[in-house]
Amino acid sequence: MSPATDDPLDVVRHYHQRTKHRPDRYAASLGYLDWATQPDPFRRFDGAPTLDLPRPSARPAPSYDSLFATAPAPAALDADTVGRLLLHSLALSAWKQAGPGQAWSLRINPSSGALHPTEGYLISGPVPDLIDAPGLFHYAPFSHQLERRATLSAAQWATLAADLPQPCLLVGLTSIHWREAWKYGERAWRYCQHDAGHAIGAIAFAARTLGWQARVIDTVADADLARLLGTDRHSGPEAEQADALLLLTPAGPIGPLPGAEAWPARIPPLALLGAPNTLSQDHHPWPIIDTLAAATATPGPTPDTPAVTARTDTQPDRGHSAEQLIRQRRSAVDMDGRSPLDRATFYRLLARTLPGAFPAATLPGPPRVSLALMVHRVTDLAPGFYLLVRDPAHAASLRESLSGEFVWETPEACPADLPLIRLIADDARRAAQTVSCHQAIASDGAFAVGLLAQFDAALAAGGARAYPRLFRETGLIGQVLYLEAEAAGLRGTGIGCFFDDMMHALMGLTDTTWQSLYHFTVGGPVEDTRLQTLPPYAHLDRR
C-alpha cells in the first residue's frame, strides 16, 4: 500500500500509520535476525589519514547538577577539549562480554537495539596540538580517532564559519538506516531519529561540561548538509542520510544564524579522502524508508524559536561528577519491580526536561512534546496517570484531546513552577506493560512515560521536515531522563516497541492531534551477572 499522492505530507502520514505496532500486527520487518547480514557497527573510511584523540580521565568537576545552574568557564579550543567533547558524546562507554568471542560495545550515546545508526562528523579550523589545517573529519569511535575526509583552505573555512561566533566547531550527524532496518524493518527510520535526538542531547551535555553550548542549525537544507559532510556521494542501502548540523561555541549569547539561502555558497567543493567500508555483504530492501527520507528532506519553513525564560535550578548539588555520570550511563535490560524514586527527585527530574533548562535550548523551534506518565513507585505520590505539560501552549489542546474522565488535579507538594497534573489515581502497571508490547520493564520501574508529540500542528507549521524534528525532540528528552536516572541511583531505558493506538486510546486520543512517538522507563536495574563488563578502550591499551 502506497500513499495516495507524492505530496511529502501524505508520505509522512502514510508512513506513520503504516509503521504503527498493533496487538494483532506489528510493523513490517523481516521477522527474524539474519545473522549472515548483520551490519558492522563501525563505519571506517579506509585510506583516510587519522588523528589520535586524547582519552583523559574523568574530572570530579563540574558536577552533574551544576550543569543545570550555570555553565562552567569555557575551555580553550585545544586537543583536550575536542577529545573530551567526543569522548563524552559519541565514544564507546564499555564492552559487554558473554564468553570468548562474544563481545559487543556500548556507547555514550544510546541506540535502539545497540545497532548505532548515527555517525558523527567534525568540521573545524586549526586546533592546537591536534588539527593543523581546516577540514572535514569523521569520528571513529572504535579507535577514538578523527579520520580526515577533506582538507579545506583557510579561505574556505573562513567563508564557511563567517558570522558564526568564534571559536566554534561544527558537528554533523548522519544515519545509516540499514543498521536499524536489519533488525526492525520499516519502523527503523523512527529509531534512527530517536538516536539522532539522543546524540544531540549527548553532545549538548558534553559541551556543557566544557563551558560550551550546542545549537542545532535548522536553516541548512538536508541536501546542503549532505554536500558539507560528503555523504551526497553515498548510494545504496548503506548510504548515510544527513540529519543535523550543530554549532558548538563557548557558552553565551548567539546572534542570528545564516539563513537557508546563505548555505549553498558557503559550502566548498570537497576532494574526499578514504572510502567507506562495507557493513554487510547482502541487504534486504525497505523502500518505504528511502521514500520517507526523501519526503522529509524537502525544504520547509524554519520554525521560529520562541523566547523561553531560563529556569534557575536551585536544587541541592548531589556531588556527582558530570563526566563520570556520562561515562557510566547504561540502558537497563530489566527492572527489579521494587526500587522506588523519592518524590522530590521525581519532581527535579521532570523539571529538567522543560524548556528553559539548558538541554532543551539545543533544538530550534517551539517545544512540541509533552509527557504522559504512568507512575508506579514514587514515594509519597499516588500511583496513576500524570501529564507534564512542557509548554503552556500545549495545555488547551491536551485538555480538549485527552479523555473527559481525567480529573486534572495538582499532585501533592508539586512545585508551583512544575506543570505536572494528575489525570487519575490508579494502578497503572498493567496498562504500562500491555501498551509497551507486553514488556514488564515498563511496569517494573518507578515510572514509565509516553512522549506525546503535537503532531498535526507541527506538520502544519513545518511541513514534512517537521516529522524527524519531533522524534529528535523525544530523543533529547530521553537523554535527560537517562542521566537523571543515573544521578538518582537508578537506570533508564528507551522503549521503541509500543502499541501506538492502544496508547492513544488509553489517553483518550481519537485523532492525530497528539501522537505517542517514544516510550521510556526509569527504575532499579537488574544486572545480568552472566555478562562481564570491560573498559571501553581496553582493546587499544593492549596494543
Q: Residues with Cβ < 8 Å from 38, sequence gap 6 or more?
A: 182, 280
Q: Give the model confidence (pLDDT) of 117-165 as tens digits.
A: 999 999 999 999 999 999 999 999 999 999 999 999 999 999 999 999 9
Closest by Cα among 212, 195, 194, 214 to 204:
214
Name the DSSP class of 221. Answer: -
Say whether pLDDT at 534 is over 60. Answer: yes
Q: Residues with Cβ < 8 Å from 437, sequence gap 6 or more?
A: 21, 495, 497, 498, 499
Q: Count of domains in the chain?
A: 2
Give pLDDT, residue 543: 65
Co-location of 262 and 365 in the same domain: no
Co-location of 249 and 355 in the same domain: no
Give pLDDT, residue 110: 96
Rg (CA), the chain: 22
In a domain, 533, yes or no: no
Using CA atoms, how far apart are residues 210 and 213, in angstroms rounded to an integer?
A: 9
Give pLDDT, residue 12: 98
Task: Please report which residue ranges of 150-286 form alpha helices under DSSP H.
Answer: 154-160, 177-184, 188-209, 222-229, 263-266
Distance of CA 345 to the CA centre of its chain: 23
Give pLDDT, residue 4: 65
Q: Which three cell numbers stand for residue 157?
A: 573555512
Co-location of 236 and 354 in the same domain: no
Q: Residues with Cβ < 8 Å from 466, sequence gap 6 or more?
A: 300, 303, 368, 458, 459
Residue written as grid cell 521503541: 496
Largest separation between any pair of C-alpha atoms in the chain? 64
Q: Residues with Cβ < 8 Å from 344, sequence gap 6 or more?
A: none
In a domain, 468, yes or no: yes
Mean pLDDT of the chain: 95
Co-location of 257 and 348 in the same domain: no
What is the rounded average pLDDT of the residues 306-312? Answer: 78
Does the global pTM surpass 0.95? yes
Co-location of 376 and 454 in the same domain: yes
Amino acid letter, 110: P
Name the DSSP class of 513. Answer: S
What is the rounded average pLDDT of the residues 528-541? Answer: 90
Determine the structural domain holding residue 473 and report its residue range: 329-523
Q: Which three cell numbers stand for residue 294?
A: 526523501
Among the candidates 225, 246, 273, a domain finishes at 273
* Distance set, CA 424 to CA 103, 372, 383 (Å): 45, 12, 9
Co-location of 264 and 359 in the same domain: no
Co-location of 238 and 353 in the same domain: no
CATH of the domain at 468: 3.40.109.10
Round to the nearest angstrom and report the end-to-end CA distance of the chain: 53
Name the DSSP class of 402. Answer: S
Q: Which three cell numbers stand for residue 61?
A: 568537576
**What is the pLDDT confidence band of residue 56, given thresholds at 50, 70 and 90?**
very high
In a domain, 17, yes or no: no
Give pLDDT, residue 495: 97
Q: Give the model confidence (pLDDT) of 361-396 as tens digits.
A: 999 999 999 999 999 999 999 999 999 999 999 999
In a domain, 423, yes or no: yes
Using CA atoms, how far apart are residues 336 and 525, in angstroms rounded to an integer?
A: 6
CB atoms within 10 A of CB 67: 22
Q: Which three cell numbers stand for residue 315?
A: 536544587
In a domain, 342, yes or no: yes
How does strand 135-140 pair with strand 145-151? Answer: antiparallel
Using CA atoms, how far apart are residues 155 and 166, in angstroms rounded to an integer?
A: 15
Sign of the alpha-carbon torsion through 52, 56, 62, 65 = positive
Co-location of 399 and 496 in the same domain: yes
Say whether pLDDT at 320 is over 60. Answer: yes
In a domain, 540, yes or no: no
Co-location of 403 and 507 in the same domain: yes
Give pLDDT, residue 138: 98
Co-location of 336 and 241 in the same domain: no
In a domain, 255, yes or no: yes
Give pLDDT, residue 541: 85
